[in-house]
Structure 1
């Protein structure tokens, strides 16, 4: 049985679940790919080694503007394993917000998906990033290397996550978090959801939102898998959820309204 007091970092939770649910699925995507809890741990270690070869380590300030994919979760967990300071950026943000976040956070690296949904994130990042900021496109695959070279986990000092508000009425505000604060939210979410390994959850919202790691923490606490989608289209999501047997369609009120509208459309036989 999971005991929150025995886990101090996100990576410790990853290791715990990889042992407790070895061989059990953690993620499914719309293209039929799946990965187990221990597979996520192993792949995240390889990605951590690859990121380390790029010069990323404890305290490195790394922004990432990536869609909700299995690979994005691997990047985030790998950075947590290395003790880097993560600066997630919502994929829909453009030059004004991204330029501000990179400058205000003093990011040293920024990981981008290349061209995604017709928009060139690499070109934008290179345009708005200050001199010395390394732009790393990952459209051709995540950096991977032999995990034997990854150093032991060192206790983090200070915040290791910076989440920015949308900046609707003013400049975005950076909110600092530690693994401990994210774990508190994720453990609370797991308790509220009350899900088990028999359930299947879903992530169709931006993983770069703070709900992303909170939901993954809930998955790691309770041992349930989830479908992850890189964009939310109600009809497509409903089809994938039905095919995978999703029992909890997570999201905000807007998601639930969209599903209700889709249900009404299908019942009415509208295209």
Structure 2
């Protein structure tokens, strides 16, 4: 599998955007430099999650473990170009599986732990994995048993490997395979090209079926390079990864960042705040990511923060929802930590509001640099590898003036080339200039001197009330700033007269018994927002529905709002 056309590979390598270096070559460089230094660490709660003790590996040990896994996979018939599917929590083994595929020339296809038979019946026949690596019982589901049943149904012919002590009939225990594997170095695939496929990750959009996003080594290497530069990371830094290793956020933003830094990658799963803070202190973490709601809460709990030594922490990535300016400013002024606003997707459309590009904390919360926009230059190297433009959805014309909403479209070194075995979806995903249609509305910020984008909302999430467009993302930040609200999101509900109206769906803070619509709207009015944006319905829930990356599933709130 070669995801990129040969002409694109040749052009990007001529420009120096892609270097033709494989992930395995990058890993081997780290091994040669770091050797006995610690490379990988599990979360301390691993045993409670999967029944086995946490692992810590040096670079040398990780290299030997990758060789052993390569031999084990090869023994089950995995070769160059074959697919290895994984369904794992954030464990050391997930990283080793990625590196083993990179060494063998195989293709890793990781799926979310939350996926069950419904999603796997859609995915597995498409990628046809030779091997499926998973765990046993995890959060009420025996994944190895589930895969065994799917194999009986004929959904997949994959060999099933489990990390558990007991394997279902017909499945293999990883410990047995490793014990039987050769201890010799796995033969290097000498002619492996960095343009050969390495991963097929899965993303969900407006389509019912998950979409495969294929990427090659060059894609992943440049993603790691960009994040290291954006976050200001240094050689040997420790990165704490709370994202599941299933897509660009974790693989590009965490795993590849670790490889570029030749430091340590510390795993965390599922998100548990006390363990997260403990790891940040004990592992001396320089960079990690956290949802805006968590960063808001921590900043409001100085007692909790003061009990945690965060002296090694320099940068926090955050995104998936608008950031509050007071929060970004507070972390910077009170703790000397840069909060970097991140916009991106599995398809690779990435913008980073870095401390270098936007030194002002409040601006950094509100804006994204116009990386790749014609006539706008930036001091860092990675923005030159990105191309962006705004397009009016009604006219198709490119927007160059501030204050006009349009769809962000993006291309460049980090953007994928098309969905796996889905030509119709691929054609619809790109415009006639080859730019990926992100489905996100931005504007050129009127008060940014033409250098910044401002996120407006998802094209299909916009609430249209009586002909007026309302960004639910804009309202979310204000709703969540109410002192009684733990988390909140706004969504449309149908109205015969106006088409749509706004419903606020909120979860209250512990100890708060009630919140009225009048109370909420009084708070919103204090922020001087337009009256047509005010919610006309309020629904109280225990928690907002979120995907594995902690992003609010706004579409799932439609039924709540309509009730």
TM bracket (short chain):
0.7 to 0.9
Q: Which has the larger radius of gyration?
A: 2
Paired with 1:193 and 1:230, the residues of 2 have a C-alpha distance of 22
Cα contact 2:244–2:250 (8 A) shared by 1: yes
Change (3 A) 1:258 1:70: farther
Q: Does 210-219 or 124-133 show the bigger shift?
A: 124-133
Q: Does 19-28 or 149-158 show the bigger shift?
A: 149-158
Change (3 A) 1:206 1:29: same
* Partner secondary structure for residue 200 of structure 2: strand
Alpha-carbon deviations, 1:22-41, whole Å to 9, x = none? Answer: 22221222336422222212
* Displacement of 1:237: 1.3
Q: Does 146-155 or 218-227 show the bigger shift?
A: 146-155
Instruction: Name which of 219, 225, 231 aligns with 2:270.
Output: 231
Change (3 A) 1:118 1:4: same
Paired with 1:97 and 1:194, the residues of 2 have a C-alpha distance of 38
Instruction: Name which of 148, 151, 161 aligns with 2:184.
Output: 148
Q: Would you say how many aligned residue pairs link Structure 1 and Structure 2? A: 267
**Unaligned 5+ residue runs, structure 2?**
1-15, 45-53, 166-173, 308-509, 511-563
Between structures 1 and 2, the one with greater strand share: 2
Q: Does 166-175 or 46-55 show the bigger shift?
A: 166-175
Paired with 1:16 and 1:122, the residues of 2 have a C-alpha distance of 35
> Given the two structures, how large is their TM-score scaled by the length of structure 2?
0.44
* Displacement of 1:5: 7.0
Change (3 A) 1:72 1:258: farther
Change (3 A) 1:168 1:97: farther
* Displacement of 1:227: 1.9
> Given the two structures, how large is their TM-score scaled by the length of structure 1?
0.86
Quick check: 1:164 aligned with 2:186?
no
Q: Which residue of 2 aligns with 1:121?
A: 143
Q: How does 1:43-54 map to 2 (within 5 A)?
A: 43-54=65-76
Cα contact 2:237–2:261 (8 A) shared by 1: no
* Partner secondary structure for residue 136 of structure 1: strand
Quick check: 1:57 aligned with 2:79?
yes
Change (3 A) 1:133 1:22: closer
Change (3 A) 1:149 1:16: closer
Q: Which residue of 2 aligns with 1:66?
A: 88
Paired with 1:221 and 1:209, the residues of 2 have a C-alpha distance of 18
For the aligned residue pairs, the C-alpha RMSD in angstroms reads: 2.8
Q: Which residue of 2 aligns with 1:203?
A: 241
Change (3 A) 1:93 1:256: farther
Paired with 1:168 and 1:264, the residues of 2 have a C-alpha distance of 40
Change (3 A) 1:260 1:184: same
Instruction: Name which of 152, 170, 176 aligns with 2:214.
Output: 176
* Displacement of 1:98: 2.0
Paired with 2:17 and 2:182, the residues of 1 have a C-alpha distance of 31
Q: Does 123-132 or 230-239 show the bigger shift?
A: 123-132
* Displacement of 1:133: 2.6
* Displacement of 1:212: 2.5
Paired with 1:265 and 1:94, the residues of 2 have a C-alpha distance of 40
* Partner secondary structure for residue 204 of structure 2: coil
Q: Which has the higher contact order (CA 8 A, sep 6+)?
A: 1
Change (3 A) 1:49 1:39: same
